[in-house]
Structure 1
Amino acid sequence: MSFTCDLCAKEVKGIPNQCALCGFWVHNSCGSLPRRLKVIRHKHLLHLTHSYLEVRLHQSDSRFCQLCVQKVNTNYGFYYCSKCDFVAHLDCAADYRNRENINLQELKEGENEDPELDQSVDSAAYKVKNIKEREDGTEIAIEKMQRVRTSNSPPFYSCLNCSFFLHESCAKLPRKKRHPFHQHLLTLFHVNTTFECYACKRNFNGFTYWCGICQFKLDFQCSLILDILTHPGHEHQLLSSIESKHNCSCCDSKISPIFRCTTCKFALDFKCATLPQTARYKQHEHPFTLRYTAEDESGEYYCDICEEERNSKHWFYYCANCDYPAHTRCILGKNPNVK
């Protein structure tokens, strides 16, 4: 017979599994879904949930799967973490590429959280904030929780024997952490060799979170961003997606992972997401500010450094004092994260 599965909302043919008391029908595939599972991108177990269970979602009007960034119909079945208000499609959570290979029969709720992992410096939401420059050239965060700073503003630690400096916040980074982009535990290392960051695809050296099993590497800035991004260059909240067919709206690159807007078609890759809000260029007198829209309506836009044409839709750096626009690559250089 033909019927609509009350878990996946698909029209299917076959013999349904039916509850005689409430008329709840599911087909065999959904009937065999696990009641709980663990996905790589979330630290807690996800539980198979249905609207019949009267689960109160924090944002029940419009929910998005935090694995594929597509809408979830919460009138049917989905996987859910009530601790973090984390929602995922049935197919996305059950996909072997997203699931963590652990024995759930031997795992109790909460046991997957390693007590040695100090996550106090991390949060599910990451904000890119503005920076103010002092008269001596050092930079300070206008907002208290700014974590990515490009100068050694106090308080910081220094080595008496060599030129090694650390912000106080950097010195307190956890030695080990989990990240939603990788299934294994990551360890903090300081390396002098140049590597490519998995997320932003930039070459870097210095601090990295590294997996000794897979040689997976994240540079320091990308390791701070988890699932949700709030950026001054876009009015809506952005969710990270490992696989996407969308190009970055700010540079047209097509690299994954990428951040996607749940409200509009805006997308942002990690390279653009981690651009500093202010930057200096050689001997130029004033600092440059990251701009998200064209400086005027002339229709002709050029970089004053390389003198090549600029795409008006791409982000760029701009000195308002001198009316001086420039490509981000021209200001930052080819490898801004290599010291």
Structure 2
Amino acid sequence: MEESNNYGHRHPLVLLKENRLIRHRFESRCNRCESHVSAPCFSCAEGCRFYLHKVCAEAPLELSHPFHPPHPLLLLMEYRSFDLSGSNHCNYCGGTCWGFIYRCSCHLRLHIRCALFTFNIAQNSFKELEDPSIPTKDEDKCFRCWEPLANYTYFFLDGGFGLHKKCTDEIPLKMNHKCHRKHPLTLQFNNQGFLCAICQIDSPTGFFYGCSPCGLFIHIGCSSLPRNIKDKTHPHPFTLLLRRVPFICDACGTSGSHAAYSCGPCDIIIHKKCISLPRVIKSKWHDHRLSHTYFLHREYVGILDCIICHEEVNAEHGSYSCSKCNDMFHVDCVTKDEDTYVIVENEDEEEEYANSLIVLEWNDSGEAIVVEHFKHVHPLRLGDSVSEHENKCCHGCFLPISTSFYYCSQCEFYLHKICAELPKVKHVWHHRCPQPLVLTSNEGFVCVKCDYISNAFSYKCEKCYKYTCLRCVVALTPGARTCLGHKHKPLLFYTDYKGKCNACGEDDIEGMFRCKDCDICLDVKCFSLPITIQNKCDEHLLSLTEHEDNSYSESHFCDICEESRDPNLWFYHCRRCDSSAHVKCVLRKYSFIKVRSILDVEVHKHPLTFVKRAYYYPNCSGCGEPCLDYAFECTEPGCNYIHHALCP
């Protein structure tokens, strides 16, 4: 062991050359790079768990990096933060930057070891990269050839990229490329976030061949392109066509400007990445299979807006479409997230659709008037008069019966037509598990979207056991939706839009229903609010209202809680009694659950019954206060557990 200077530490340091000499190896981190300590490293001679990797301790305070020629990199302290934008991530490995890092005035950030690792590559000092103590994982790949690291002898940096020894001679620091003949391309970091000119993919980490004056970058793997590519989804081979003029890809409909592949017999030009686009997919965004085509006849298409982003789909270029309902999708929209679709390998296999209804009788116009639903034992008949079934609720969503509903003539069972026609299993884009959701009934649950307690119909995930109520499933099914009192086009759901809800006033909500013609925005909870609902505060049905119709008072109060009410926000109103109430006062958390329903919940070992206490008020087992209203009560003999419906 060698003694060294203390590098700013209050005690002397010793150099440890073997991992077995490090006392706290698996619990300790380097005081500069914050990664787990490994030999060779400096250790505090007094045993105070101060460690420095040798390479980190000897890192220069200023580094002129060949892959970032505009400015020198300075070794600075970066404090821990919770920035989710990626602006504080290392531009080489993508990991979070904190502790001592190399930083540039143009916002380039590099871990110490990432900066020195890439510096050694630029200097051909590959012996400095060897670290046999670091094992590889199955997913670790060489950043040059993208083959698994374990297939060949490799260099590897903990937390960064690996590099095969065989690939070290294949990475020239400067090259001439046919796609950009104006200037040579040099190996450099892409901290500006440019798209690769060849594959059109944004990769903010690693390094690339680039031309800084022209703002052009190419992935290392895209720098050498095969002359011909044959793909099983296309009958002819594609030929490389290096073009320095803009073109529109016939497969995805987006632009390109440098390299393309062409098919002469089909007269199409496409990106390299689009050659392997699947022909048929099953997407969570749609109930049917979607097929890829290079163009569609306009009279076939119908609506030309993408179901996901709601922007126009150019039928003269590639898109995904459904032949059953003519819905259209941009290629980049429907394939953006690999977790939301699967490739259909056997296109000839008949597509399964789990219908909930069996039609027993049709009318002359082709409408099903008598059906069987798999959640009810008796046949259901299509209703023709809402007034005959006044104050009845749909068993699927627990909302009042409106137009288009089925009812049972033998018992009081009702289903809205839209609820009855929902399939037994359904893929939904807003649930991350790969399995489809299963339609269930008579199970107590809390909806993951609106947070209401219910025992109506729901869609359940058999993997994570989360439930989504029918109101939210219908609201989030892609397509235009009408809105209360809105005079323009129906509202569309924008997944990435962030804003303020016009109904409840909450701000900074991500994912909103919006109108293309005006600024109205609604969140999912408010968009799925019942238009009419029954409440004990009034003998009549209350109607959801967006503005006051009278000026009888300058003050606005809620007739339930008797607190003030913002007239600019939505509320429930009874025209006959001229009473108004907050939405949250009318729709309490238990508004969608039946009294005497039995639920299995995590807070108690026995099933609980939903009850309304009109007398004998026992104390809540949660907060200790008397249960004066709705509560969950255990009916197990000898168990006196009771819990407020709204108690945490």
For normalisation by structure 1, the TM-score amounts to: 0.73
Higher RCO, Cα 8 Å, sep 6+: 1
2:414 alignment partner AA: H
Find the counterpart in structure 1 of residue 342 from structure 2: 101
Instruction: Tell me how far apart the structure 2 counterparts of residues 166 and 78 of structure 1 sit (CA, whole Å).
Output: 43
1:335 alignment partner AA: Y
Find the counterpart in structure 2 of residue 199 from structure 1: 449
Instruction: Tell me how far apart the structure 1 counterparts of residues 290 and 421 of structure 2 sit (CA, whole Å).
Output: 28
Using a 3 Å threshold, how does the CA distance of structure 1 residues 221 and 155 change in structure 2: closer, same or farther? farther
Instruction: Tell me how far apart the structure 2 counterparts of residues 270 and 332 of structure 1 sit (CA, whole Å).
Output: 15
Instruction: Tell me how far apart the structure 2 counterparts of residues 16 and 186 of structure 1 sit (CA, whole Å).
Output: 41
Instruction: Tell me how far apart the structure 2 counterparts of residues 9 and 207 of structure 1 sit (CA, whole Å).
Output: 41
Using a 3 Å threshold, how does the CA distance of structure 1 residues 256 and 38 change in structure 2: closer, same or farther? farther
Residues 69 and 260 in structure 1, CA contact (< 8 A), matched pair in contact too? no
Match of 2:322 among 81, 85, 89: 81
Instruction: Tell me how far apart the structure 2 counterparts of residues 265 and 76 of structure 1 sit (CA, whole Å).
Output: 32
Find the counterpart in structure 2 of residue 3 from structure 1: 246
Using a 3 Å threshold, how does the CA distance of structure 1 residues 176 and 134 change in structure 2: closer, same or farther? closer
Match of 1:180 among 428, 439, 442: 428
Using a 3 Å threshold, how does the CA distance of structure 1 residues 106 and 19 change in structure 2: closer, same or farther? closer
Find the counterpart in structure 1 of residue 529 from structure 2: 275
Taking the TM superposition and a 5 Å limit, the aligned residue runs for 1:115-126 are 116-118=354-356
Using a 3 Å threshold, how does the CA distance of structure 1 residues 280 and 119 change in structure 2: closer, same or farther? closer
Using a 3 Å threshold, how does the CA distance of structure 1 residues 210 and 234 change in structure 2: closer, same or farther? same
Using a 3 Å threshold, how does the CA distance of structure 1 residues 135 and 155 change in structure 2: closer, same or farther? closer
1:289 alignment partner AA: S
Is the aligned partner of 1:210 residue 2:460?
Answer: yes
Secondary structure at 2:246's aligned position in 1? strand
Structure 1: gaps spanning 5 or more residues: 122-130, 148-152, 158-164
Find the counterpart in structure 2 of residue 48 from structure 1: 292
Match of 1:316 among 571, 583, 595: 571
Q: Which has the larger radius of gyration?
A: 2
Instruction: Tell me how far apart the structure 1 counterparts of residues 320 and 471 of structure 2 sit (CA, whole Å).
Output: 30
Q: Quote the offset at 1:11 in angstroms.
A: 4.1
Secondary structure at 1:287's aligned position in 2? strand
**What is the number of residues matched between the two proteins?**
310
Q: Quote the offset at 1:197 in angstroms.
A: 1.2
Structure 2: gaps spanning 5 or more residues: 1-243, 360-384, 394-399, 595-648
Please identify, of 175-184 and 324-333, the stretch whose mean Cα deviation from structure 2 is larger. Answer: 175-184
Q: Quote the offset at 1:327 in angstroms.
A: 1.0
Find the counterpart in structure 2 of residue 230 from structure 1: 482
Is the aligned partner of 1:248 residue 2:487?
Answer: no
Is the aligned partner of 1:112 residue 2:112?
Answer: no
Find the counterpart in structure 2 of residue 303 from structure 1: 558
Residues 556 and 564 in structure 2, CA contact (< 8 A), matched pair in contact too? yes
Instruction: Tell me how far apart the structure 2 counterparts of residues 119 and 242 of structure 1 sit (CA, whole Å).
Output: 31
Q: Quote the offset at 1:95 in angstroms.
A: 1.8
Instruction: Tell me how far apart the structure 2 counterparts of residues 188 and 135 of structure 1 sit (CA, whole Å).
Output: 26
1:234 alignment partner AA: H
Instruction: Tell me how far apart the structure 1 counterparts of residues 490 and 329 of structure 2 sit (CA, whole Å).
Output: 17
For normalisation by structure 2, the TM-score amounts to: 0.41
The two structures, once aligned, show a CA RMSD in angstroms of: 3.8
Alpha-carbon deviations, 1:133-159, whole Å to 9, x = none? Answer: 67985577452x147xxxxx86463xx
Using a 3 Å threshold, how does the CA distance of structure 1 residues 76 and 59 change in structure 2: closer, same or farther? same
Identity of aligned residues (%): 29
Using a 3 Å threshold, how does the CA distance of structure 1 residues 38 and 189 change in structure 2: closer, same or farther? closer
Using a 3 Å threshold, how does the CA distance of structure 1 residues 117 and 213 change in structure 2: closer, same or farther? farther
